Amino acid sequence: MPGGRPKSAVWKHFDGGKERATCLKCQGEIVNAKVEKLERHILKNCAHWTAADRAAYIQRRQHTQQFNRPRASIDATSSGAARGEGEIVQLTQNDLNRLVSRTVFGDGCALRLVERPNFQDLCLAGRPGLSVPSRFLLTGRLLDEDFAKEFADLVAHLMLQPYVAVSEDGCKIVNHQKAVNFVLTGPNMKAKLYTTKVTGSDSQTADYLAEMVGGIMDELNRIRGKADFVTVMVPDNAQTMLAAGDILERTRGIFCSGCGAHTLNLLIQDILKLDSMGETLKKAHSLACFFLQRAQLLARFVEEHEKIAQLDVNDAYTRMLSLPVATRWYSAFNCITSVIKNKDSICGVFNDADVVAKYKAREKKQKTSKKKRTTSKKKRGAAKQTPATGKHKRSKQTTDTTSQEKDKRTITFEEANAIVQDPQFWEHGRKVMKPLSPIVKKIGVLETDGCSIAMVYQTFVDLLKDQRYSNPQDMIDTATMIRTFIEKRWEFLHTDAMGIAFLLDPSRDPDDFVGDDYSKALNSVLVVAERMGYSEEMKAKAFREANAFVNVKLDWTQAERDKQGRTAPMDWWGNHRQFYPALFEMARKIFTIPTSSAAAERSWSTHKYIHSHLRNLLKPETIRKLVFIYSNRNAGDGVPDVVYDLEKFMGGGGNSEHIDDEDVTLENSDGDTSSTDGGNSDDEDEGLGRISVYDRVDYGLEYFGSDSGC
């Protein structure tokens, strides 16, 4: 293998050799090419390299330079000594400390790992005289250094962004304290955790939250050196946070946009309250619980499931049974789908004569035993003829309550069999899936990082035009009620910025506006311009430019609209700023608005991974730094795809009718898999263990937020 230094990564962007190199993007030639010349061409001269591409290149270069020396040292220590060739470059104690800290913090390892003999042997093999850093050193100086390095990387990333949005979400964490996390998002950046604040004994009122968020905004504006760097606040739809957003809109001139995905979740909640929908969910939930709480029966279901999958590889349904998650109402659709689509597997179990005989005999035995226990208790009570003490009363009440809760949670074999043998349940289940499937699909789109704010308006336009609700063939009364719910939720979520975003999106047709929303969106330009502090002259100019842009869009042919729509809206307005000098800044700020606070909600999953019940004695500041390092180091620095065209995002399935209703599911990314009791202790297969099912939400973290505080 030839010796010498490794070839620089910059050469992969060029053709040719050192005498003459050609840029693969602009085809420009560099004579007497050297690494410095090539990098100067990439970072300054090449017009085809965007700011985001250059930032990503700088990040990769810094990452490579940082690790080149330690890797070379390790290689020389291990392979050079074995060959007896050349001088061995020793790894210093500081180098080892940095490698260990990056491994522990970056991978979310337990801090006690550094005290494990096997880990110490691995780190110290072939390195005499060195020692693994202690836990005290790890959580002290090394944690501070790693945090400072990661924070500096975040600042360098923010310096490349024109504007950012702050998404916030509040939860009760493992040690029962209340906390709020702040996640930064933007069209050209991955979601990055900025900080997590513990509220302590303070009451979470709207004024308190507005002051807290305002302080975060001031910090970010000061870091970026730009007074209006933070332009958007995206809370979840808790009343306190929305009220805090209203305060910030009035006092700071920013945009406060509710969570579009959460609004659709609430829409599903409204729909499931209808008797025709709720009854089907109740039966599907009971049937799924019946299997998941019985280990032997679940194993029998898996056997049927695998058998069907082998017989019909292409069309077999591959998902297992699932349960709804509290406050994640789309998971109710997943529950219904998992039961209805697994009909063959479920029926196969209940048509097994051995299974039927086994469970009938078992339930008969349980009823007999229960009757004997009841008779025995009555006899003992009559013999004593003494009133029960308060303690015994409480014990009896507790027992009765526990029994009632267990009865609500599970059903008998006869009840489950009645559901399975009812053909109307399966038929109605498929009908219930149809009106829910387009809403679940839209939730998945809006929770995507980089989804354009114009997609919120497009989402509700598509739902209102959907034939399932406007011209239903089945469940007509239910479909009419669903359409009413859609209109109410849209009225709750709709803001001036959403209408302007749809108006200024080059890929949107102005004819798609509903009712008088077109004129309202144009007038909203004046309202938003005033909020942003425009002068009267600039407001009038922005209004004229908005009208001019819309007329240009109306003149486009479909081919021209498709061509212009290839560019994300944020980038389109940046490229055409010379034609709309008063409007382009407003457009770029509006297209910075994310469609949901899903990034902030997902951050709690990381928080629970780092701050678990086994690590609940760590100091809040230590937890904050550990979560910050782990989240941002694993988030990546690439530019996310901007979702501004549903048809492209769904691979040609932009319209809901292109997608099979029965194949639409949304993964629960932040639900907890809590353990549920295995059923009656008398039942041999129900007491063998705890079956993991979706039972709580957000890993046991409780949401807070109300007008009066918490």
Answer whether residue 586 shows pLDDT above 70: yes
Question: In this predicted structure, what is the pLDDT of residue 640?
Answer: 66
Please give the structure tokens belonging to residue 310: 């082998």
CA contacts within 13 A on the Cβ side of 114: 21
Burial of 226 (0-12, 13-18, 19+ CB in 10 A): middle
Question: In this predicted structure, what is the pLDDT of residue 426?
Answer: 93
pLDDT band at 399 (very low <50, low <70, confident <90, very high): very low
Mean pLDDT, range 515-544, rounded to an integer: 91
Residue 408 neighbours by CB under 8 Å, 6+ apart: none
Question: In this predicted structure, what is the pLDDT of residue 608?
Answer: 86
Answer whether residue 362 shows pLDDT above 50: yes
Question: In this predicted structure, what is the pLDDT of residue 444?
Answer: 86
Question: In this predicted structure, what is the pLDDT of residue 645?
Answer: 62
CA distances from 500 to 587, 591, 620 (A): 8, 10, 42
pLDDT band at 44 (very low <50, low <70, confident <90, very high): confident
Q: What is the mean pLDDT of the chain?
A: 78
Least confident of 410-419, 423-432, 647-656: 647-656
Give the percent of the chain with pLDDT over 70: 77
Question: In this predicted structure, what is the pLDDT of residue 522?
Answer: 92
Least confident of 21-25, 148-152, 407-411, 486-490: 407-411
Residues 77, 91: contact at Cβ < 8 Å? yes
* Beta strands 189-198; 164-172: pairing state: unpaired
**Which residue did the predictor score with more confidence, 656 or 115?**
115
Residues 234, 212: contact at Cβ < 8 Å? no
pLDDT band at 165 (very low <50, low <70, confident <90, very high): very high
**Per-residue pLDDT tens over the stretch 64-73:** 654 444 443 3
Give residue 488's Cα distance to chain centre: 25
Question: In this predicted structure, what is the pLDDT of residue 217?
Answer: 93
Question: In this predicted structure, what is the pLDDT of residue 408?
Answer: 47
- The DSSP element (H or E) to which 621 belongs, if any, is helix 620-633
DSSP codes joined into one string, 558-608: HHHHHHHTTS-HHHHHHHTTTT-TTTHHHHHHHTT--S-SHHHHHHHHHHH
Question: In this predicted structure, what is the pLDDT of residue 315?
Answer: 59
**Per-residue pLDDT tens over the stretch 457-479:** 888 988 988 888 888 887 888 88
Question: In this predicted structure, what is the pLDDT of residue 551?
Answer: 92
Mean pLDDT, range 299-320, rounded to an integer: 78
Most trustworthy range by pLDDT among 52-66, 207-221, 441-455, 602-616: 207-221
Q: Is the full-model pTM beyond 0.85?
A: no
Residue showing tokens 């009225």:
491
Mean pLDDT, range 663-673, rounded to an integer: 46
Query: Residue 45 and residue 56: Cα distance in Å, rounded?
Result: 17
Most trustworthy range by pLDDT among 1-5, 272-276, 633-637: 272-276
Answer whether residue 275 shows pLDDT above 80: yes
Residue 29 neighbours by CB under 8 Å, 6+ apart: 20, 21, 22, 23
Answer whether residue 691 shows pLDDT above 60: no
pLDDT band at 402 (very low <50, low <70, confident <90, very high): very low
